[in-house]
Chain A
Amino acid sequence: MGTETPTQTGAEITGGGAAAGDNAANRRARRILFGCAAITVLTTLAIFFVLLDNAASYFFGAKFTEMTRGASFEQTVTFTEFFTGQRWAPDHARPAHGILPIVFGTLAITVGAAFVAIPIGTATAIYLSEYASPGIRSKLKPMLEILAGIPTIVYGYFAIAFINPVLLSGLAAYVLNPLGNGLLQVGSALPGTMGDSLTSIATSMIGINVGRYSLLSGILVVGIMTIPMVSSISEDAMSAVPDDLRNGAYALGATKFNVSTRIVLPASISGVFASYILAVSRAIGETMAVTLAAGFNANITTNPFDEIMTMTAYMVSMARGTSAVGTVEYQSLFAVGLVLFVMTLVMNLLNDAFKRRFQEEYQ
């Protein structure tokens, strides 16, 4: 805002005059308010510090803060094991500290959910910004806002009470298993390697049974909950594309399809990408829905009907568990948290870069 205190003359209107008290109050207020704003920066620093400090005690048996006070330390978990190990079970009788399985779990959910949310969210955004009549828009948008406002625990419930036991079990029992049986007959009738490969596909389809948790359920539920993020931010970006460009294309005899895909989408692409990254970042950090949907079994699998474990689900299981504070298995919580935080941080910075680019283009 503008600067205060213009040049003044005369005793009444110079410093130390009638307004002195008010000006002091103003300076005081400014300092206090700056303190408030500084708290937000301190929060980030605190997150970093706390995660690093506690992760140190996971890797070295003592926190940095304890080391400065002279605590002895020894390497308890090597970085090689942590980053390349294939088994994750810090609280097991035979502990293993390879984070890959739960990183896999998180990435499998994230990538899968992106395949759901990005096409559907983008299509919804194009529909809202280019095709929908104002009447339909005014109905569709609030529904997407509701979808975005539903707590994640409710999505988790939806997964464990409906998607997995009803939708996916039904799919397995009434579609995939019978289909497998059918294919098996075809496969055994066919000669040679083609028959063999068909038979093996058929057997695996017959073998599908859906347990309490599944990767696919997690993908679906996280995909559904990130649709509104993609659609609303992408739509904002598309609506910011000036009508001049649309008119230019229509005047050349372009159809709405041409205008949407060849003018509007390319022109808003950095804003659209920002929405994708935000959705991905959200999926990485998503906790309750994946915990209730995908389960607690840290394994690397290609079967979408298997139970898996994400980093966040591991953290929940530790919080529910009985490990004593300060033990290696308890401190693994923070090592995983640090990895998670860094992953989302990278996403957020990327998102920021795309958002900035979009604003430069259109403001």
Chain B
Amino acid sequence: MSTETETGVEDGNTLFSDIDLSWEHRKNELFRWLLIAASLFGVVMLALLLFDVVTDFYTGLTEFNISLYEFFTQDGSQEETRAGFKGAVIASIMLMIMTAVLAFFVGVGSAIYLEEYAPDSRITRLIEANLANLAGVPSIVYGLLALAAVVNGIGIGPILIAGAVALGLLVMPIIIVSTQEALRAVPDSVRNGSYATGATKWQTIRRVVLPAAIPGIMTGTILALARAIGETAPLIMVGALFVNRTPSGPTDRFSAMPTQIYNWAAQPSEHFIHLAAVGIVVLLSFLFVMNGVAIYIRHRYETEV
């Protein structure tokens, strides 16, 4: 076959000359650069976005004389020069705590059931499939649910509890999935060791499995809350808009950080736009800190194991 025509020692330099690969390689290089350009697109957009926010933040402080001190100590206001972020920040923190309380126990409980107890039955598969679907439900729909069932249905009005219900249901699937992963990471040998001493399943879970999984669960929960704190649409649906006061308790009306930012960003006034930029920097700082804590927990306990 091939070698019939090529007997005899060939000159090394002409050995591969029957294969012209220059086009192949050029195609490959072209493709590589195309991929690099596409990959850079996302990076460039991220840089542009951050750059835009930071410059607006800066001009807000300098040209529009937004004082950070007043920004944090004053409530919202219709008057652009008097508007602050205090009420929104406090509402967001309260909202986060209430969301955590609502979603954490049920979420972790569901995950324990699914990972440790659930038989391989139809019902289990239904719950799992439903979970995957819930994670894909648009956040605004959770807002509609809370609006119809809690705000109008029970009739408690657009108060913090209603917002927390919407956000709690929204982050529940995220907490469940991350808890399941944390439980799965606990090796079975640990469980068997506990059973061998005569512990029941529940004792094993409470004393051995959960303590081993708790860093992972905490990391997942913090990340879920970081998602919740930036959610806007469900709160707007619940009616958390146009309130400037600092909420006095869980039953008070409120506007949180993202809804306040939306309110400002939707105004035609340049001053309000820059207030929104300052608010965004505050919101992103919250996210930054929360992600930092989550990463810290993960690393700290990963290295210990």
Contact = CB atoms under 8 A, between A and B. Distances in A.
Q: Do A and B bind each other?
A: yes
Interface string A110-133: 000000000110011011100110
B283 A154 contact: yes
B80 interface: no
B138 A344 contact: yes
Greatest chain B CB density within 10 A among A126, A131, A261, A315 is at A315
A36 B109 contact: yes
A312 B39 CA distance: 30
A315 B140 contact: yes
Nearest to B198: A19
Interface in B257-305: 258, 261-262, 265-266, 268, 273, 276-277, 280, 283-284, 287, 291
A217 interface: no
Contact of B202 (A25, A47, A153, A334): A25
B35 A124 contact: yes
Contacts of B39: 123-124, 127-128, 132, 140
B91 to A, nearest CB: 15
A10 to B, nearest CB: 14
B78 to A, nearest CB: 15
Interface string A90-104: 000000000000000
Nearest to B133: A348
Interface stretch (A173-181, A201-209, A252-260): A252-260
A220 to B, nearest CB: 9
Interface string A40-52: 1101101100110
A183 interface: no
A161 B137 CA distance: 28
A312 B137 contact: no
A1 interface: yes
Contacts of B237: 315, 319
A12 to B, nearest CB: 11
Contact of B127 (A40, A162, A285, A349): A40
Contacts of B126: 41
Contacts of B24: 255, 257
Interface string A218-241: 000000100110010000000000
A19 B197 CA distance: 12
Chain B, interface size: which category? 35 or more
A35 B294 CA distance: 29
A333 B291 contact: no
B137 A40 contact: no
Q: Name, among B153, B176, B233, the residue most crowded by chain A CB atoms within 10 Å (CB to CB).
A: B233
Contact of B35 (A32, A131, A160, A352): A131
B46 A285 contact: no
A119 B38 CA distance: 8
A40 B45 contact: no
Contact of A120 (B38, B49, B149, B284): B38
Q: Tell me which of A29, A35, A285 has the highest count of chain B C-beta atoms within 10 A of its own C-beta.
A: A29
Contacts of B284: 150, 154
Interface string B89-112: 000000000000000011111101
Given A26-B200, A140-B43, A255-B28, A344 B136 contact: yes
A155 B284 CA distance: 12
B113 A1 contact: no
Interface in B213-230: 226-227, 230
Contact of B140 (A34, A46, A231, A285): A285
Nearest to A32: B109
A46 B202 contact: no
Contacts of A1: 116-117, 191, 201
Nearest to B52: A162
A293 to B, nearest CB: 11
B241 A44 contact: no
Nearest to B144: A337
Given A37-B118, A292-B266, A333-B144, A255 B230 contact: no
Given A144-B42, A285-B140, A352-B132, A4 B200 contact: yes
A224 B172 CA distance: 26
Given A39-B110, A120-B42, A352-B133, A287 B139 contact: yes
B141 A152 contact: no
B145 A36 contact: no
Interface string B14-33: 00000001001101100110
Nearest to B135: A348
Given A154-B284, A319-B236, A337-B144, A26 B201 contact: yes
Given A44-B134, A161-B277, A143 B232 contact: no
Contacts of B276: 157, 161
B131 interface: yes
Interface string A11-23: 0000000010011
B28 A256 contact: yes
6 contacts: A47-B141, A120-B42, A340-B141, A344-B141, A345-B133, A348-B132
10 closest Cβ contacts across the A-B interface? A285-B138, A151-B230, A36-B109, A123-B38, A33-B113, A127-B35, A287-B233, A348-B136, A26-B202, A257-B28
